[in-house]
Amino acid sequence: MFGLHGQEIIIIALIVLLLFGGKKIPELMKGLGKGVRSFRDGVKGIEEIDDDNKSDNTPTQTK
């Protein structure tokens, strides 16, 4: 995972625990999860719009 080994992940986790405290971490993870979910929903919406535009790509005549 990103070139990190077990010891480095443990050190990063300890630093996060020290910075945010034990009570703030679940709230932080919940907010992160909501952000990722909304990002995925946004990307999914863009892909659906793009697919709709590709299917409506019929040439129109101009006078």
Give the model's pLDDT for residue 63: 56
**32 inside domain:** yes
The C-alpha atoms of residue 57 and residue 59 are separated, in whole angstroms, by: 6
Domain count of the fold of the chain: 1
- The gap between the terminal CA atoms of the chain, to the nearest Å, is 58
Domain that residue 33 falls in: 22-48
Q: Which residue has the higher pLDDT, 15 or 22?
A: 15
Q: For residue 17, is pLDDT > 70? A: yes
The C-alpha atoms of residue 56 and residue 52 are separated, in whole angstroms, by: 6
When pLDDT is cut at 50, 70 and 90, the band that residue 26 belongs to is confident
**15 inside domain:** no
What is the reported pTM?
0.49
Using DSSP, state whether 46 is helix, strand or coil: helix
User: Residue 20: CA atoms inside 13 Å, Cβ hemisphere, count?
Assistant: 14
- What is the dihedral sign for C-alpha 34, 39, 43, 48? positive
